[in-house]
């Protein structure tokens, strides 16, 4: 950050206040003061508002910054706990053109500013830091324009898995969507006329952070069943709360809220005064039952062409080789093969619940319908 610029702006604003103070607070003695009049009627309380420019220091002070930075140092954005091919994620995935948009600062910034990453990849990618998400204020008129927190992105986000879908959480949570959405690596299974779906990878499912789409109530494979699907964008946690409300609450504990992104109980009590449950009703039972059913699904190996890709007949049906595959998902990983559409849809929904990592909390009604209807389809 350009400290000199900040200091210059702050000095200009501070001297602005001094000037106002000097002129308006002058006391002019009144030579012929009469007796004091009766007290007037109390005015109506004003609405709470944002405190204009005077609030620079609420964010730009050491008192705000030190605990915030300490909390960031506890976060998984900073402490990469996941190793991949022997390297931290930001080094391995952050350098690859097909991953860098979400896994390194360079890739993320290029994606946001130019709409695309460097197709050559990045030779020395940086992990997520302050400047991955923050840049500069787009406005200083916070009163009329709202706080932008100097975020690079608070605008609605077009999904990579479906360019006709835009998500707008209406607050700083839009910052999260660019990365916490499914990659466009697999087509969500749906009836296509063949009744089948071919899985060609052991990583089938929404990679890896479908939290935004789950909160919105979209991008599951909506199998018909006894549980209705709630309307898009209608979950109470979507309309009454948000990513930042649950994950970035104010906190004096450097291990929760703020820039740890660990949810705090205090973010739940306004709506759940007796304490919030730590999973949706029946989640563990349903999730485990669905996992068992999926491990027993029997598919068929496909015939491979010279490149190892599946072969199809003239009508577009995949050609099997007669060898059974037991388990569409086993221990959280998919097995390649030909399956029915419904089996693949149930597998997609299971992987969505697994990758969302909130035990259904992000969208209780939607997750319940995905799990229960998937179980019904397999039984
Ligand atoms: C659209 C954004 C996006 C893209 C593109 C992306 N990732 Fe990720 N990835 C994420 C997010 C977000 C997480 C963390 C999800 C979580 O913890 O809930 C993640 C997590 C991971 C994990 C850890 C999974 C786990 O839970 O153990 C691996 C490994 C990974 N990514 C590899 C890759 C690779 C390799 C690529 C490119 C082929 C890639 N990612 C592309 C967003 C993305
Ligand atoms: C993954 C994205 C991300 C990263 C990384 C990040 N921030 Fe933030 N930051 C946010 C978001 C989103 C908000 C708005 C939170 C809200 O709406 O309450 C925010 C808010 C803030 C605020 C205002 C705090 C307040 O109390 O209102 C400050 C100051 C700040 N960040 C500084 C930093 C610093 C310093 C770092 C690095 C140590 C950092 N941020 C890293 C996303 C990020
Ligand atoms: C709601 C919190 C918040 C308020 C209020 C706020 N800022 Fe910021 N500002 C941030 C964050 C977050 C950053 C970027 C992260 C960082 O480096 O601190 C930032 C960055 C900056 C920067 C460096 C980037 C740039 O734009 O060149 C300047 C200068 C700045 N702010 C000036 C101000 C001034 C002047 C005010 C008051 C009119 C103000 N800010 C009010 C949160 C805030
Ligand atoms: C630049 C991409 C990016 C942005 C923006 C981003 N994240 Fe992340 N997030 C990631 C990646 C990648 C990981 C996995 C890091 C790791 O474990 O190596 C992650 C991890 C997390 C985790 C920990 C996940 C776990 O498995 O324990 C939480 C919680 C989280 N992010 C929440 C948020 C929220 C809330 C926002 C918006 C304020 C946000 N993230 C913005 C990329 C991003
Ligand atoms: C109603 C509150 C709430 C909202 C809204 C919410 N989350 Fe969560 N989120 C949680 C809870 C609670 C967990 C489970 C945390 C745990 O088990 O440690 C969680 C889990 C996660 C995880 C996995 C963390 C881990 O440690 O495994 C990520 C990543 C995440 N949320 C990101 C997001 C993003 C991005 C958004 C917005 C699209 C969001 N969340 C909206 C409450 C919320
Ligand atoms: C804006 C109010 C609001 C906030 C904040 C909120 N919740 Fe909720 N929550 C609700 C409402 C309303 C329902 C019931 C409707 C539904 O299922 O969507 C609900 C349902 C749930 C359920 C599902 C119960 C079930 O099985 O049907 C869980 C679990 C839950 N909340 C956990 C949390 C957690 C954890 C937090 C904080 C991190 C939180 N909630 C924050 C309003 C809220």
CB atoms within 10 A of CB 270: 10
Below-50 pLDDT ranges, the chain: 1-31, 33-34, 40, 43-50, 52
Give pLDDT, residue 254. Answer: 86
Look at ligand 6, atom 41, and give the residue with the nearest C-alpha. Answer: 268
Q: Taking a C-beta distance cutoff of 8 angstroms, is the pair 213, 349 a contact? A: no
Which listed ligand is nearest to 205 at the C-alpha? 1
Which listed ligand is nearest to 10 at the C-alpha? 3
Whose tokens are 């979400």? That residue is 102
What's the pLDDT tens digit per position in 99-113? Answer: 999 999 999 999 999
Calpha distance 199→156 (Å, rounded): 32
Give pLDDT, residue 20. Answer: 32
How many angstroms does the Cα of residue 247 sit away from the middle of ligand 5? 7
- 370, 367, 348: which is closest to 237 by C-alpha? 367
- 258, 244, 245: which is closest to 70 by C-alpha? 258
Residues with CB under 6 A from ligand 5: 173, 176, 180, 209, 211-212, 215, 237, 241-243, 246-247, 263, 357-358, 361-362
How many angstroms does the Cα of residue 269 sit away from the middle of ligand 4? 24
Residues with CB under 6 A from ligand 1: 82, 84, 89, 93, 96, 98-99, 101-103, 160, 179-181, 183, 207-209, 357
- Burial label, 128 (beta-carbon count in 10 A; 0-12, 13-18, 19+): buried
Look at ligand 5, atom 14, and give the residue with the nearest C-alpha. Answer: 358
Calpha distance 89→100 (Å, rounded): 10
How many angstroms does the Cα of residue 2 sit away from the middle of ligand 1? 32
Asked whether 235 lines ligand 6 (CB < 6 A), one says yes
Contacts of 121 (CB under 8 A, 6+ apart): 95, 96, 97, 100
The whole-angstrom distance between residue 125's C-alpha and the CA centroid of its chain comes to: 22
Ligand 2, atom nearest to 78 Cα: 5
How many angstroms does the Cα of residue 264 sit away from the middle of ligand 6? 13
Give pLDDT, residue 26. Answer: 37
What's the pLDDT tens digit per position in 260-296? Answer: 999 999 999 999 999 999 999 999 999 999 999 999 9
């Amino acid at each position: 950050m350009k400290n000199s610029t900040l200091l210059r702006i702050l000095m200009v604003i501070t001297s602005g206040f001094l000037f106002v103070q000097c002129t308006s607070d002058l006391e002019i003695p009144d030579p012929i003061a009469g007796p004091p009049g009766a007290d007037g009627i109390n005015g109506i309380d004003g609405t709470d508002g944002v405190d204009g420019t005077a609030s620079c220091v609420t964010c730009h002070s050491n008192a705000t910054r030190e605990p915030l930075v300490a909390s960031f140092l506890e976060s998984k954005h900073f402490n990469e706990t996941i190793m991949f091919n022997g390297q931290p994620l930001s080094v391995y995935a952050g350098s690859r053109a097909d991953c860098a948009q979400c896994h390194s600062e360079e890739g993320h910034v290029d994606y946001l500013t130019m709409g695309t990453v460097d197709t050559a990849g990045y030779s020395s990618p940086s992990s997520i830091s302050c400047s991955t998400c923050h840049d500069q204020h787009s406005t200083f008129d916070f009163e009329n324009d709202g706080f932008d927190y100097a975020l690079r992105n608070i605008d609605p986000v077009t999904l990579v898995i479906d360019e006709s879908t835009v998500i707008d959480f209406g607050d700083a949570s839009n910052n999260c969507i660019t990365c916490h959405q499914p990659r466009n690596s697999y087509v969500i299974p749906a009836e296509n006329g063949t009744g089948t779906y071919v899985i060609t990878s052991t990583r089938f499912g929404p990679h890896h952070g479908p939290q935004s789409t789950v909160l919105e109530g979209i991008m599951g494979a909506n199998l018909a069943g006894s549980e209705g699907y709630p309307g898009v964008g209608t979950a109470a946690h979507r309309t009454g709360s948000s990513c930042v409300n649950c994950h970035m609450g104010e906190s004096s504990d450097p291990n929760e809220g703020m820039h740890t992104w660990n949810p705090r109980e205090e973010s739940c009590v306004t709506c759940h005064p007796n304490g919030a449950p730590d999973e949706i009703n029946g989640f563990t039972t349903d999730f485990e039952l669905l996992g068992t059913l999926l491990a027993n699904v029997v598919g068929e190996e496909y015939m491979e062409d010279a490149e190892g890709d599946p072969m199809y007949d003239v009508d577009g049906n995949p050609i099997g080789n007669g060898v059974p595959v037991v388990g569409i998902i086993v221990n959280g990983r998919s097995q390649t093969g030909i399956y029915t559409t419904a089996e693949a849809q149930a597998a997609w929904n299971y992987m969505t619940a697994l990758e969302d990592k909130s035990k259904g909390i992000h969208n209780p009604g939607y997750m319940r319908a995905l799990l229960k209807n998937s179980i019904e389809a397999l039984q």
